[in-house]
Structure 1
Amino acid sequence: MLKTLGAQIKEFKRDSILTPVFMIGEVIMETIIPLLMASIIDNGVTAGNMNHIYLIGALMVGTAVLSLAFGILGGQFGSRASTGFARNLRKAMYENIQTFSFSNIDKFSTSGLVTRLTTDVTNMQNAYQMILRMCMRAPASLICAMGMSFIISPRLASVYLVAVLLLAVVLGLIVTQATKHFTQAFPKYDALNESVQENVSAIRVVKAYVREEYEVEKFRKASGNLYKIFCKAESIVIWNNPVMNFTVYACILTISWLGAHMIVQDTLTTGQLMNMLTYCMNILMSLMMLSMIFVMITMSLASARRICEVLEEKADLGNPEDPVKEVRDGSITFDHVSFSYKKEASDPVLKDINLEIKSGETVGIIGGTGSAKSSLVNLVSRLYDVTEGKLSVGGVNVKDYDTESLRNQVAVVLQNNVLFSGTILENLRWGDRDATEEECRHACEMACADEFIQRMPKGYNTYIEQGGTNVSGGQKQRLCIARALLKKPKVLILDDSTSAVDTATDAKIRKAFAEVIPGTTKLIIAQRISSVEHADRIIVMNEGQVDGFGTHEELLENNEIYREVYEAQTSGSGDFDE
């Protein structure tokens, strides 16, 4: 874990080294000041030597200025190092998430990733700054003050030693008990973020079903759980101050009592007694800082582990040593392919699939809900890897391709259409960042999207809200199809991507595909047989297996499932789930 996190310090190593150096310098200056003060009292005020007072006073001013300068520099370098460390953590996590395959992403919840990128990184930033500054300052101050105390008066310094030992035991108990609660707190942020995320993203559904009170109650429960855990932790940490104050005042009283007797006996000077009282505060405040450091570090340990989980997660899908970077054509071959989302699953989602699709063919894929239609096409663009068998595109095993090159030639319009905030042109250029407006217009004409875009006030410069909330479901689907067409792919996969458009528009889109991109292999998942009956061939999926593969006429004659659904749909009802 330390190695993983330490690798993200990178260009802030110099700041991370200079911060503790300046903090130690500040401690040394603060340790010298009481010695100078004692010298003024004993050799200046008591002896009536004004020259000594002026000289030592000037030295005290210089020492105080140096202490201030060291403190400012330590704070500046520490802030730069900790904020830079946090920036690098966020960047490294975000970049690593971009490399994840679908199977990697399935291991983390969206809210969990958001918490790691925000709350957990902030905890690490605060902890790192405290480590650089206080972890050096507190022990150094404790050691210097204790050392000087024993030099001045071992008898009085033994009071500090007893106080330090007792205080260390008490603070150790406080930290141990508080840690148990803090480690439980941060995972609760996931539940809180999940509640907010679901409510905001699905606010229309919430209002449509009048579930505002239910959502408020769910958020209140998640927030309440977090509140209870932090209250328990803070109720333990709060003992820190009274215990510390009791120890400080007890030490001051004891030192004053014993010191007064020693002054009367001429074994201690007034200046030395003032020194001891000053060092008393230094020692006990150092202990207080150490206790807070332990609490902060303990709090951040849970965050550190969660961040490392993301940083150390390796993408399941990688490129071979010498990847193929050119997809020859759009032919697809499934050779005894089986697939499971989890390796340990006993029952595969896809079972022994054998298919051969020619380049340029239009192939329909139909089947009931849960028949693994989407799972089948997700393997083509290598969003997942096959568990058994071999899948080839353009005559080459998909595992031998450069992943980016393969996906650039296999365009997928997923079942859940996603548009990003920005103009229509900006969304379309996700397919081809260098596409001209004319090319975008041509793709939209093929997808029957140009007709509604032209009716918008700003045309192709119309702003799309996040998630495409200001366009209808059918318009969103057509924009996503146009975006995929701009890639000029060898294989085009439409995963139930025309379900929200009317039958006439669906027919226009299919006709445009046949006329404009005849060389592109088209895989069309649909629920309506009318959407695929004109395809060159149709795959009938049933419980993860290919139940039939042929033309519309062949399936009507030979496939019972297809025939029953066709008859039911042409009579006005029926689908593959019945």
Structure 2
Amino acid sequence: MKKIFAELKMFRLQLLCVFVSVAAGVGATLGLPTYLSDIVNKGIAGKDMNYILHTGLIMLGIAILGMVCNITTGFFASRIALGLGKNVRSKVFKKVEYFSQAEIDTFSTASLITRTNNDITQVQNFMVMFLRIILTAPIMCVVGILLAYSKNPKMSSILVVSMPVMIFIISLIGRRAMPLSRKMQSKIDRINLIMREKLSGIRVIRAFGTEDYEEKRFDTANKDLMNNAVKMMHAMSLLGPSLILVLNLTVVGLLWRAGQGIRTEPVMPGDILAIIQYVMQIMMSVTMLSMIFVMYPRCAASADRICQVLDTDNSIKNPEQPRQSAGQKGCLTFRDVSFYFPGAKEPAVSHVSFEAKPGETTAVIGSTGSGKTALVGLIPRFYDVQEGEVLVDGVNVKDYDLKDLRRKIGYVPQKALLFKGTIAENIRFGDDSANDERVREAAAIAQSTDFIEDKPDGFDSQIAQGGSNVSGGQRQRLAIARAIVRKPEIYVFDDSFSALDFKTDSALRQALAAETGAATVVIVAQRVSTIMNADRIIVMDEGKVMGMGTHRELLKTCETYQEIVRSQLSEEEMSA
């Protein structure tokens, strides 16, 4: 919570306003019983109507002042809490934006979403209550006790008994409720995880008919969350009635003490009313504080989860003194590169070396899990190598500013992802300065013009979140257009032609060849036909390079490549 409270420094002026309004509001609230006592003791007892009216008007003014102060406190407390939430949410978003895949895998996507939304909302809600109560309750409690004792010390001594009883009840219930409160966020995490998996994998669930299993899985998590919440609510439901009982018994005790002193030290009726009101305000302030203590564990758990994200050290960092390339453009070099996924014992990429120059196409092929995607993911620094080095234009990728490095690369991922917005906006995502002509040119090279123009709004047609309203092949072509539009020095296509038919694949590669003539092209592919004309083919198996050369060279020297080719091409196609 320290890091969260430290964010309040940005709201010093608003905090000052809250403090002033709280102090004035508490003063107004605690001033009313004194005037009420005077009306009873002097106005009513003396039958002085003018005094009653005059004092009543003063009380009305004080009540209005208290109302204005409470509204002001609520306004500034809300502004501070919402501003705090906005700032923390922005920090979390910016932090996650630069996470490597390793950090994202550590937290899980569902958990990061929960931390960014639900956890920060919990902190916001607590902060509103905290700012209103943490100042109000202690002042009201201390000043109320002093005023009650000033009226009649003997009557007010009943608080010596009732206050410890209240504190005991609050601590007893809090001990039960606090652990349950801490568990709430992890159980909400579980709900979000299941929901996200269900929504993203709905087609697979329907295809295999596992709806009943998923419903049971969700119901189990949902019931677990409900049971935890019910237990917490049961504990909390005892708090209000218990405190009201203590409050009523305290009032009875006050009247009993007043009755005992009638013969020896008579107490004025107005003083009895004032002391009862002070005692009620004191005990209500303790009750409000108890709510803060019960809410705190859940807020603290949320704050800890937020701070875990903010305190996570990015494994992919910008160097303190970034370097720039010295004139070269598009040169890519792997020097004895080995890479292990976090926690893995075996390397995903083992001792890989090659050099790709502008105007050349380097293809990577291999079976599933052979390390192809891991290999090309090292170029834009999605991961860092543990051994060897990756050079772009003669400079180690670790020595580049990340933005400068990635500006040189046009990357098309294995799973084409589109964003909510228009088709033009999705293509322009690769280069926001691209004009309409360049967007259309990129779409034409990616063989996307036909299906875009078939849509009623053309390039202004809306794309749903994730590109769910276009086919897999159309998504891939738009993702390719997005890379083309930025005119990078290095193109990286990670199995980006898998959803295309052979005719479109052939046309696209032909158009790409003209566009990427001066650039370095790296293609990961499953289909041999996609890479047959590459200048260099790297054959991978279990993270190792099994062969490297042209198509014809590998047919003679690499057994692994021969097996792949035989499984896809006929004898005539192989010899063509």
TM-score normalised by structure 1 residue count:
0.95
Report the counterpart of residue 329 of structure 1 in structure 2: 329
Report the counterpart of residue 576 of structure 1 in structure 2: none
Does the CA contact (< 8 Å) of 1:331 and 1:360 recur in 2?
Answer: no
- Give me the whole-angstrom Cα distance separating, in 2, the residues matched to 1:308 and 1:16: 23
Change beyond 3 A, Cα 1:459–1:69: closer
Report the counterpart of residue 202 of structure 1 in structure 2: 201
CA drift at 1:303: 0.6
CA drift at 1:45: 2.0
CA drift at 1:179: 0.5
Q: What are the superposed Cα offsets for residues 445-486 of structure 1, whole Å, 9 maximum, x if unpaired?
A: 222222322332322222212111121111111111111011
- Give me the whole-angstrom Cα distance separating, in 2, the residues matched to 1:93 and 1:54: 58
Does the CA contact (< 8 Å) of 1:441 and 1:450 recur in 2?
Answer: yes
- Give me the whole-angstrom Cα distance separating, in 1, the residues matched to 2:352 and 2:40: 94
Q: What are the superposed Cα offsets for residues 36-75 of structure 1, whole Å, 9 maximum, x if unpaired?
A: 1112222222233444334433322222222122111111
Report the counterpart of residue 518 of structure 2 in structure 1: 519
- Give me the whole-angstrom Cα distance separating, in 2, the residues matched to 1:253 and 1:299: 36
Structure 1 counterpart of 2:504, one-letter code? T
Is 1:499 aligned to 2:498, yes or no?
A: yes
- Give me the whole-angstrom Cα distance separating, in 2, the residues matched to 1:315 and 1:501: 36
- Give me the whole-angstrom Cα distance separating, in 2, the residues matched to 1:424 and 1:49: 82
Q: What SS does the corresponding residue of 2:18 show, helix, strand or coil?
A: helix
Structure 2 counterpart of 1:330, one-letter code? G
Is 1:86 aligned to 2:78, yes or no?
A: no
In the TM superposition, what are the counterparts of 1:144-159 in structure 2 within 5 Å? Answer: 144-159=143-158
Structure 1 counterpart of 2:222, one-letter code? S
Does the CA contact (< 8 Å) of 1:26 and 1:70 recur in 2?
Answer: yes
In the TM superposition, what are the counterparts of 1:332-411 in structure 2 within 5 Å? Answer: 332-342=332-342, 345-411=344-410
Aligned pairs, number: 570
In the TM superposition, what are the counterparts of 1:117-132 in structure 2 within 5 Å? Answer: 117-132=116-131
Structure 2 counterpart of 1:93, one-letter code? V
- Give me the whole-angstrom Cα distance separating, in 1, the residues matched to 2:165 and 2:33: 25
- Give me the whole-angstrom Cα distance separating, in 1, the residues matched to 2:453 and 2:234: 63
More deviation, 125-134/313-322 = 313-322
CA drift at 1:81: 1.1
Q: What SS does the corresponding residue of 1:256 show, helix, strand or coil?
A: helix
Q: What SS does the corresponding residue of 1:363 show, helix, strand or coil?
A: strand
Report the counterpart of residue 276 of structure 1 in structure 2: 275
Q: What SS does the corresponding residue of 1:540 show, helix, strand or coil?
A: strand
More deviation, 56-65/430-439 = 56-65
Unaligned runs of at least 5 residues, structure 2: 572-576
Structure 1 counterpart of 2:338, one-letter code? S
CA drift at 1:172: 0.7
Report the counterpart of residue 575 of structure 1 in structure 2: none
Q: What are the superposed Cα offsets for residues 395-429 of structure 1, whole Å, 9 maximum, x if unpaired?
A: 11111111111111111100011011221111100
Q: CA RMSD in A?
A: 1.7
Report the counterpart of residue 549 of structure 1 in structure 2: 548
Unaligned runs of at least 5 residues, structure 1: 573-578
More deviation, 350-359/411-420 = 350-359
Q: What SS does the corresponding residue of 1:65 show, helix, strand or coil?
A: helix
CA drift at 1:133: 0.6
In the TM superposition, what are the counterparts of 1:150-299 in structure 2 within 5 Å? Answer: 150-299=149-298
Does the CA contact (< 8 Å) of 2:316 and 2:384 recur in 1?
Answer: yes
- Give me the whole-angstrom Cα distance separating, in 2, the residues matched to 1:401 and 1:339: 19
More deviation, 414-423/196-205 = 196-205
CA drift at 1:11: 4.2
CA drift at 1:7: 4.2
Does the CA contact (< 8 Å) of 2:24 and 2:69 recur in 1?
Answer: yes
Does the CA contact (< 8 Å) of 1:9 and 1:84 recur in 2?
Answer: no
Does the CA contact (< 8 Å) of 1:255 and 1:277 recur in 2?
Answer: yes
- Give me the whole-angstrom Cα distance separating, in 1, the residues matched to 2:346 and 2:58: 81
Q: State the percentage of identical aligned residues.
A: 37
- Give me the whole-angstrom Cα distance separating, in 2, the residues matched to 1:55 and 1:512: 92
Does the CA contact (< 8 Å) of 1:13 and 1:81 recur in 2?
Answer: no
CA drift at 1:325: 4.5
CA drift at 1:125: 0.8
CA drift at 1:371: 0.8
Report the counterpart of residue 74 of structure 1 in structure 2: 73
- Give me the whole-angstrom Cα distance separating, in 2, the residues matched to 1:552 and 1:481: 25
Does the CA contact (< 8 Å) of 2:498 and 2:525 recur in 1?
Answer: yes
- Give me the whole-angstrom Cα distance separating, in 2, the residues matched to 1:6 and 1:281: 31
CA drift at 1:115: 1.0
Q: What are the superposed Cα offsets for residues 498-522 of structure 1, whole Å, 9 maximum, x if unpaired?
A: 0111122212222222223211111
Q: What SS does the corresponding residue of 2:79 show, helix, strand or coil?
A: helix
Structure 2 counterpart of 1:106, one-letter code? D
